[in-house]
Amino acid sequence: MSQTLTSLLEVSIDFDQSHLFFPKLVVTLLAGMLLLIAVIHRARLVEIVRTRGAGLAFFEENADKFRLFSTVGLIVIYFVSMDYVGQLFPNTGLGFLFCSIAFIAALSLVYVHEVTRSVLLVIACNALIAPLAVWYVLGSLFDITLP
């Protein structure tokens, strides 16, 4: 009896294949748990299927889709252009500096609700000063690599 128990617990792992052992275990556990969750909440699942997903709203009520998608869009443009401009001036961090100025200005304009002259001034100053300060202090003084 005790012998079978010990042999049950025995696991031999071949070093060459050891990279797959733990991921397999995790994936199995994940699948098992997903099944368990589905079984426990089956009533709700049935309900969702029956109503064809009505009452399931991904976005909040009155979601501000303009601001949400502009944020995602601007970030994508920011990252792509930063890498591109950075390539034009290698190892200077200028790609980061120029693109950050544009990005901060644009995103601030997306987010702001009441545009007044003084708000615009704040946005403009912020868009100029913040990236410049970061670029100078971190990029030049501390010699941190920037795009």
Task: Check binding of 77 to other proteins (CB under 8 A).
Answer: no
- Residue type at position 50: R
Handedness of CA 29, 35, 40, 41 (dihedral sign): positive
> Cα separation of 43 and 69, whole Å?
34
In the complex with other proteins, the residue whose CB is nearer, 33 or 46, is 33
User: Considering only residues 44, 111, 128, 136, which one is a binding residue for other proteins as defined by CB under 8 A?
Assistant: 111
> Cα separation of 97 and 68, whole Å?
24
> Cα separation of 18 and 25, whole Å?
12
Q: Which residues bind other proteins (CB under 8 A)?
A: 6, 9-13, 15-16, 18-23, 26-27, 29-30, 33-34, 36-37, 40, 58-60, 63-65, 67-68, 70-72, 75-76, 78-79, 82-83, 87, 90-92, 96, 100, 103-104, 107-108, 110-113, 122-123, 126-127, 130-131, 134, 138, 142-147
